[in-house]
Structure 1
Amino acid sequence: MHFKTLALSLLGLLWTIPSLAETATFSPTQGVETTLVLKGSTLNVAVKGETHNESRTVDFEAVNELHMQFDDFNFDGAQDFAIWQLDDGMGTYDYYRVFIYQVKTGTFEELQPDGGDGFVNLRVDKKRKALLSTYWEMNITKQCVTRFSKRKA
């Protein structure tokens, strides 16, 4: 009888524990504060600046745990972020969605690679100012090099 009462009490306690969310706050540029709240497969982005405020939600099709990464992905001096996860298969590849801070609008814009459908196994090459990722063409692994010198700011 005591075991049943204990089990029911523990089960009730588990239902009352809130879902854990990962929160990070950073400044993409001076005078701007960004807060990211990652809960399950949903990301809430709140940007507060002197002239512009933005709040939006980004949904991910994710089975595995999502992770945050911060870097200057387009080499413009502003802090950007990426959300990544291991692939749902054997956990061999990392899939990234990269969000670039746009100084003119005070918002984050999702970046697409110059090759392939998305950033897989992303690496930041600061020396060449390029993002390196993997894609497949006719089941052959290729490297995508995403450069920013040709892109508009």
Structure 2
Amino acid sequence: MQKDKSEFKVSFVDGFETLKIKNSKTKQVQLINNLEASITDKPSHLEINDYNFDGFTDFAVYHTDDGMGVYTIYQIFIFNPKNKQFESLKFPSNFNPQCDMFCDIKVDKSKKILTSSCRGGAKFHTDFWKYDKNKKLILAQTLSD
């Protein structure tokens, strides 16, 4: 339930390639097509969280990577309270993160940081994402070990 009392029912359709989101208050239905599903049939899952720290509930669709399954790939959807729709959180292209997608996402609500972790070669990388004053996602820091 959103802080404005909206409730949503989210379900997968079309073999996990489409999300159907129904607003129980307005009865509006939103369809999100072309989800990033596993090409090796690994199951997709939903996770509920506030990924942009605005007090509204967002969600993510995730599955383990199609390689060795060492990390989890996330596609994040942010609730827009103005139009009461969910919008895909675009991976920022104007930064140089170590992970080229959202992987193994952790949400730190106290610091308002999203952490994305991945493996590249023999190293593990962690990208720290935060929101600037204009509510745009920016890369705050990258660590490799």
The alignment's TM-score, normalised by the length of structure 1, stands at 0.69
Report whether the alignment pairs 1:74 with 2:62. Answer: no
- Alignment: residue pair count: 127
State the superposition RMSD in angstroms. 2.7
Aligned match of 1:121 in 104, 107, 123?
104
Residue 103 of structure 1 aligns with which residue? 81
Q: Which has the higher helix share?
A: 1
Alignment-derived partner of residue 132 in structure 1: 115
Q: State the 1:42 CA deviation.
A: 2.3
Residues 33-77 of structure 1 show CA distances to partners (whole Å, capped at 9, x for unaligned) of 211112432232324276793421333332210011001111111
Q: How does 1:1-150 map to 2 (within 5 A)?
A: 27-39=1-13, 40-48=15-23, 53-60=28-35, 61-62=37-38, 63-114=41-92, 115=97, 116-134=99-117, 141-150=124-133
Runs (5+) with no aligned partner, structure 1: 1-26
What secondary structure is seen at the aligned counterpart in 1 of 2:43? coil
Higher radius of gyration, 1 or 2: 1
Q: Following the alignment from structure 1 to structure 2, what is the Cα–Cα distance between the partners of residues 126 and 32?
A: 22
Taking every aligned residue pair, what percent have the same amino acid on both sides?
28
- CA deviation profile, 1:77-96 (whole Å, cap 9, x unmatched): 10110010011122111000
What is the identity, as a one-letter code, of the residue corresponding to 2:28? N
1:3-40 C-alpha deviation (Å, 9 max, x unpaired)? xxxxxxxxxxxxxxxxxxxxxxxx23323221111243
Cα drift, residue 144 of structure 1: 1.6
1:69–1:83 contact (8 Å) kept in structure 2: yes
Distance in structure 1 (CA, Å) of the matches to 2:87 and 2:32: 13
